[in-house]
Amino acid sequence: MTENDKSSQTTMLPAEPAALGLTGLAVAALVIGSGYVGITSGIDKVLMIPWILFFGGCTQLIAGIMDFKRNNIFGATVFTIYSMAMLSISLTLFFITFGNVAFDIAHYGYGLIAILTFTLIATIASMMANKVLFIILVVVDIAVVVLILHYLTGAPALIGGIFLILTSVISFYAVASILINSMAKKTILPMGDPFWKP
């Protein structure tokens, strides 16, 4: 292998993975949200697990790993952490569905507190990215707060479900923007300038 070959290999980056990761988020949020708002039969149903596991967990993990290779610390961290959250949700649903012991679902609520803490940090960071990513994370923040209250105090989860479905809708817009703009090589669906340019 020549020096030129080595140089070209080291400078080649994977394709932009944000559309992949956001599609995973959009599908998982829609599936989970549909259970909370009562469109489907309930949050504890086993048929939700494959959608959360593969789209929410695996797809975002792939996107996160690709972003690490692209040296995009924001995308890499957010997609990877959300992937772990979705994998944890899948396993929680599995245990609730097939477990033969009584569970203290408050553990899930405290896990969501940890995810909320990370999401608030990511929300601040996203102010330096673009408006659509910032809005997605704000909507996720609201959904997670409502679900924490649901699991720790018994408050209704309906609003959380609505905000998860809204997360899905905005994420699909971001996916369309990334794919269409990259194929057209110009901005057709804008993502908006950053709110914060330090």
Q: What would the DSSP string read from start to end of 18-57?
A: HHHHHHHHHHHHHHHHHHHHTSSS-TT-GGGHHHIIIIII
CB atoms near residue 157 (< 10 Å): 21
* Percent of the chain residues topping a pLDDT of 90: 78
> By the 8 A CB rule, do 26 and 168 touch?
yes
What's the mean pLDDT in 161-171? 98
Q: How large is the average pLDDT for residues 62-73?
A: 97
For residue 116, pLDDT over 80 is answered with yes
- Alpha carbon distances (Å) from 157 to 35, 60, 73, 77: 10, 25, 32, 27
> pTM score > 0.85 for this model?
yes
For residue range 117-164, what is the model confidence (pLDDT) as tens digits? 999 999 999 999 999 999 999 999 999 999 999 999 999 999 999 999
Provide the CA 135 distance to its chain's centre, in angstroms: 13
* pLDDT bracket for residue 23 (50, 70, 90): very high
| Phi and psi, residue 55, nearest 5° | -80, -55
Please give the Cα distance from 70 to 49 (Å, whole number): 30
